[in-house]
């Protein structure tokens, strides 16, 4: 099969490219390198069946020519910055909503109809139902990031209904592991490198969050695409449990052998739109036969180890 | 109060302008006249407190200057064509999603924070819960129109969360009454004017739909804005009942004194994305004290009478 992976130089995208290549597929990665890293594709670029296209998804002509001949498009490119959405509201609209529209139009131009999409658990806003299932009560958006992913999901579903597309929409919790380039482990490690005696934690640290290890995430996506056959297939992906931010802090400082003074900025939420409790019901994807292998604590430690071995990423990702 | 009404020359918009003016308010109508009609504002333009701005909402600078000084924005401008969405997918994206983003940004530039928005019952896709409440299970979109309105709702909610906006989101059933310019009554009447002996009905005619009379709709919006005080206020608006398309056909031909041969194109749905059963639970808005006054049959007959008296609209709206 010939796969296109948008955001192919990103955290999840580059790991997915590697896996698809290892499984014997042809892969075209599209990335504008706004956050993706050329170094993440060093292995992939050694492979004969790999092509890298440097293009921005807002350039419809470029996207259209890049997807030609694909059997399947994994659309993972996104502005994944949920925290700073209010500083640049146009970014989520463009990088997520408009980019997704262009990917769909590019596919339609070539008669390509199968798309996998990285959505987010943030789409549930502050759900009252926890763990939150895919058919939770119609949510109210609390972040521009969530709103833009909601718009993308709507577009994909409408293309399934109107143009005979088939879609696999994955609502992720935060993903951890090798090539992780943003999120709380990144922020905490960076702070501690600069000053090992002090760590600032946004909010009261009691926020409860679920996470998932990158290879578990990829296993789930590939299994779902293989086994779920509806026109629109929506799956929560996450570990069956959650941790407190303070737990995570504890594991990180322990692994690093540090004893910093912890300063909490206070409040239930770390930032505007921060959801103090994210925990998704993953019964639907489990029913397909998937089970996550790496518990959250282990995923955090693996992430930290990778960051320690790849400190260059702390320089390039501000 | 100074109100801005986008889509102010449209069916709902022009009726709302008239009502707001009658209530003693200052009104600025913005319209690009893509579907709005100058004649609908003939009365309003006689009023000293009325201003008409001819502008396209995709022109952010024009929108920004138009909303200056407003206390409240009713954002009603939209591509309201649910049926032909797949013929021009970009239109819903631009006229609905991007236009709404611009309205929000224009408001934010001036520190205006209160917005009323015309969403749609189509946002529920084909809900399994009927009558459908506002917190129905997270829906899957079945039309580009619904998807675009979902995107708008998400944006508005996110601006409420992130920028301190206050939003009133109204999910309408189809609205009927004076200045109605598209929908099944329009289509049927136009067909019968051209050939009174034959009427083509899309689908099997058994589609069940709820409708609402324009003045009931305006009553509900104004009451909700007055009485609902949450940051994000979401209300279904519709009559507490539904009719079959075939019922509607019967009332229309009876009112016109015709006995055409009825040809059904067949199938449960009239078009791709047509929802065969739309009936919204309106308990939430009723709890504020609203009650619709005009039953569906009467609203259909009123609409037809208005079209008979205003045949010019059949010429200008193809």
CB A255 within 8 A of CB A304: yes
Mutate to test the interface with A, among B125, B141, B152, B230 (most CBs of A within 10 A): B141
Q: Which two tokens stand for residue A101?
A: 């529209």
Per-residue pLDDT at A84: 81
Q: Is B148 on the interface with A (CB under 8 A)?
A: yes
CB A18 within 8 A of CB A50: no
Which residues have C-beta within 8 Å of that of residue B155, sequence separation ≥ 6?
Answer: A93, A141, A144, A147, A151, B97, B100, B101, B104
Q: What is the CATH number of domain A183-209+242-277+295-316?
A: 3.90.25.10
Instruction: Please determine, for residue A245, whether its predicted confidence score (pLDDT) is greater than 90.
Output: yes
CB B314 within 8 A of CB B193: yes
By mean pLDDT, which of A207-216, A237-246, B82-91, B149-158 is the weakest?
Answer: B82-91
CATH of B181-209+242-278+294-316, one of 3.40.640.10, 3.30.70.1350, 3.40.50.620, 3.90.25.10: 3.90.25.10
CB distance B157–A144 less than 8 Å?
A: no
Q: Which helix (H) or strand (E) holds B157?
A: helix B144-163
CB A234 within 8 A of CB A173: no
CB distance A232–B158 less than 8 Å?
A: no
Q: Which residues of B93-231 form beta strands (DSSP E)?
A: 114-120, 166-172, 174-176, 198-201, 208-209, 211-213
Calculate ∠ Cα A265-A173-A50, nearest 5°. 120
Indicate the length of chain B as a whole number.
318
CB B314 within 8 A of CB B186: yes
A-facing residues of B in 217-236 (CB < 8 A) are: 232, 234
d(CA A153, CA A65): 24
* ipTM, two decimals: 0.95
CB distance A138–B137 less than 8 Å?
A: yes
Contacts with A228 from chain B: Cβ below 8 Å: none
Contacts with A82 from chain B: Cβ below 8 Å: none
Instruction: Please determine, for residue A273, whether its predicted confidence score (pLDDT) is greater than 80.
Output: no
Of B268, B317, B162, nearest to A146 by C-alpha is B162
Q: Annotate A256-294 with three-state secondary structure.
A: HCCCCEEEECCCCCCCCCCCCEECECCHHHHCCCCCCCC
Q: Would you place residue A318 in the very low, low, confident or very high pLDDT band (cuts 50, 70, 90)? A: low
Q: Which two tokens stand for residue B76?
A: 């009603």
Place of tokens 């579907």: B35
Place of tokens 């609902």: B228
CB B166 within 8 A of CB B156: no
CA distance from start to end of chain A: 36
Q: Is A165 on the interface with B (CB under 8 A)?
A: no
Determine whether B215 is exposed, middle or buried from the number of CB atoms within 10 Å of its CB (0-12, 13-18, 19+).
middle
d(CA B180, CA B289): 26
Nearest residue in A to B147, CA atom: A154
CB distance B137–A140 less than 8 Å?
A: no
Q: Is A141 on the interface with B (CB under 8 A)?
A: yes
Q: Is A153 on the interface with B (CB under 8 A)?
A: yes
B38: how many CB neighbours lie within 10 A of its CB? 14
User: What is the least distance, in Å, from the CA of A268 to any CA of chain B?
Assistant: 15
Q: What rounded mean pLDDT belongs to chain B?
A: 96
Give the count of Cβ contacts less than 8 A between chain A and B: 125
d(CA B243, CA B262): 18
d(CA A140, CA A76): 24
CB distance B139–A138 less than 8 Å?
A: yes
Q: Is A257 on the interface with B (CB under 8 A)?
A: no
- Taking the C-alpha atoms of A134, A140, A144 and A148 in order, what is their torsion angle to the nearest 10 degrees? 50
User: What is the least distance, in Å, from the CA of B183 to any CA of chain A?
Assistant: 20
Q: Of A98, A137, A157, which has the smallest distance from its Cβ to B147's Cβ?
A: A157
Q: Is B67 on the interface with A (CB under 8 A)?
A: no
Of A103, A98, A97, nearest to A75 by C-alpha is A103
Q: Which helix (H) or strand (E) holds B200?
A: strand B198-201
Nearest residue in B to A132, CA atom: B138
Beta-bridged to residue B26, according to DSSP, are B2
Q: Of A124, A134, A272, which has the smallest distance from its Cβ to B162's Cβ?
A: A272
d(CA B185, CA B62): 35
d(CA B120, CA B44): 26
Average pLDDT of A258-275? 90
Domain ranges of chain B: 2-175+210-237, 181-209+242-278+294-316
B2-175+210-237: CATH topology: Rossmann fold (3.40.50)
Of A309, A302, A293, A298, nearest to A218 by C-alpha is A293
Q: Is B272 on the interface with A (CB under 8 A)?
A: yes
User: What is the least distance, in Å, from the CA of A200 to any CA of chain B?
Assistant: 23
Average pLDDT of A227-248? 97
User: Which residues of chain B register pLDDT less than 50?
Assistant: none
Instruction: Please determine, for residue A80, whether its predicted confidence score (pLDDT) is greater than 90.
Output: no
d(CA B169, CA B233): 6
B48: how many CB neighbours lie within 10 A of its CB? 7
Contacts with B136 from chain A: Cβ below 8 Å: 137-138
Of A128, A144, A147, nearest to A136 by C-alpha is A128
A287: how many CB neighbours lie within 10 A of its CB? 11
Per DSSP, B260 falls in state P
Q: Would you place residue A48 in the very low, low, confident or very high pLDDT band (cuts 50, 70, 90)? A: very high
- Using omega within 30 degrees of 0 as the cis cutoff, is the peptide bond preceding B272 cis? no
Per-residue pLDDT at B95: 96
Mutate to test the interface with A, among B146, B154, B280 (most CBs of A within 10 A): B154
d(CA A44, CA B262): 63
- Do the domains at A2-175+210-237 and A183-209+242-277+295-316 have one common CATH topology? no
Higher pLDDT, B12 or A275: B12
Q: Is B161 on the interface with A (CB under 8 A)?
A: yes
CB distance B150–A147 less than 8 Å?
A: no
B-facing residues of A in 84-113 (CB < 8 A) are: 85-86, 89-90, 93, 97-98, 101, 104-105
Nearest residue in B to A272, CA atom: B162
Max CA pair span of chain A: 57
Q: Which two tokens stand for residue B146?
A: 């619904």
Nearest residue in A to B159, CA atom: A144
| A21 to A5, A10, A66, B23, B124: CA distances (angstroms) | 12, 16, 18, 67, 39
Q: Which helix (H) or strand (E) holds A314?
A: helix A312-316
Of A4, A118, A117, nearest to A51 by C-alpha is A4
Per-residue pLDDT at B308: 96
Calculate ∠ Cα B313-B241-B154, nearest 5°. 75
CB A158 within 8 A of CB B147: yes
Indicate the length of chain A as a whole number.
318
Q: What rounded mean pLDDT belongs to chain A?
A: 96
Higher pLDDT, A313 or A272: A313
d(CA B315, CA A219): 58
Contacts with B58 from chain A: Cβ below 8 Å: none
Per-residue pLDDT at A81: 77
Per-residue pLDDT at B318: 58
């Amino acid at each position: 099969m010939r796969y296109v992976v948008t955001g192919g130089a990103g955290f999840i995208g580059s790991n997915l490219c590697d896996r698809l290549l290892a499984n014997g597929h042809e892969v075209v990665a599209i990335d504008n390198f706004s956050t993706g890293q050329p170094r993440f594709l060093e292995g992939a670029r050694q492979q004969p069946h790999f092509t890298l296209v440097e293009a921005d998804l807002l350039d419809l002509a470029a996207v259209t020519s890049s997807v030609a001949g694909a059997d399947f498009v994994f659309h993972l490119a996104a502005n994944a910055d949920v925290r700073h959405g209010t500083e640049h509201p146009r970014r989520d609209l463009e990088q997520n909503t408009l980019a997704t529209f262009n990917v769909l139009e590019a596919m339609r131009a070539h008669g390509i109809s199968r798309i996998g999409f990285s959505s987010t658990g943030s789409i549930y806003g502050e759900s009252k139902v926890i763990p939150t299932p895919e058919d939770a009560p119609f949510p109210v958006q609390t972040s521009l990031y969530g709103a833009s992913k909601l718009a993308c999901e709507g577009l994909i579903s409408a293309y399934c209904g109107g143009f005979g597309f088939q879609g696999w929409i994955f609502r992720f919790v935060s993903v951890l592991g090798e090539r992780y380039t943003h999120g709380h482990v990144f922020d905490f490690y960076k702070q501690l490198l600069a000053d090992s005696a002090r760590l600032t934690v946004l909010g009261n640290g009691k926020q409860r969050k679920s996470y998932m290890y990158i290879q578990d995430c990829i296993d789930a996506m590939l299994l779902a695409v293989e086994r779920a056959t509806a026109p629109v297939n929506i799956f929560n992906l996450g570990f069956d449990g959650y941790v407190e931010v303070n737990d995570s802090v504890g594991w990180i400082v322990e692994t690093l052998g540090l004893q910093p003074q912890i300063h909490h900025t206070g409040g239930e939420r770390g930032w505007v739109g921060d959801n103090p409790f994210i925990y998704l019901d993953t019964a639907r994807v489990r029913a397909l036969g998937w089970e996550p292998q790496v518990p959250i604590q282990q995923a955090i430690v693996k992430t930290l180890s990778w960051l320690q071995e790849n400190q260059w990423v702390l320089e390039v990702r501000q």
